[in-house]
Amino acid sequence: MATQATARRTARNGFPFLRTAIALQTLTIFLQAVSSGLLMTTSYGEVLHSVGARVMYGASMLYVLAAVLAWKPGGGSPRPVLHASGFLVLASVQVAVGIAHVPAVHLPLGVLMFGLSVLALARR
């Protein structure tokens, strides 16, 4: 009985922690685009972009955690776990090519990540 009530409440609320995690990830990626512009035009842009990269990576890990929590104990679909894990892989590649100073990959990948994050947010 309690399980059915929980399932109905979950279906109605739609895993707000997962939606919040995706929104945070989307925001941090957008802020990375802003700090990228500052990186090219100011002396403090590099520090902001570096700190922002760590925050964005943390937000991607939070997205994975939220997806797992929505799936296992929440009784949701495992699909968001696959999406979040794939996004964490993209974030890892993004950090690696950023450290390696490969802007030909880093910039388009950032745009792709922002688009995918907005799409994931719109689907929630």
Give 124's pLDDT tier (boundaries 50, 70, 90).
confident
The total number of structural domains in the chain stands at: 1
Q: Is the dihedral of CA 57, 60, 65, 66 positive or negative?
A: positive
* Mean per-residue pLDDT, 60-79: 90
**How many other CB atoms sit within 10 Å of the CB of residue 76?**
20
Alpha helix segments (H runs only) across the chain:
2-13, 16-41, 45-71, 79-99, 103-123
pLDDT in tens, 14-34: 689 999 999 999 999 999 999
pLDDT in tens, 35-57: 999 999 999 999 999 999 999 99
CA-CA-CA-CA torsion for 84, 89, 94, 96, nearest 10 degrees?
150
Q: What letters, b where the CB count within 10 A reaches 16 and e where it falls short, cover 86-123?
A: ebbebbeebbebbeeeeeeebeebbeebbebbeebbee
Containing domain of residue 97, as a range? 1-123
Q: What is the pLDDT of residue 14?
A: 61
* Mean per-residue pLDDT, 57-73: 93
* Mean per-residue pLDDT, 96-119: 96
Residue 9 has pLDDT above 90, yes or no: no
pTM tops 0.95: no
Asked whether the beta carbons of 45 and 53 are under 8 A apart, the reply is no
Q: Whose CA is closest to 32, among 10, 16, 49?
A: 49
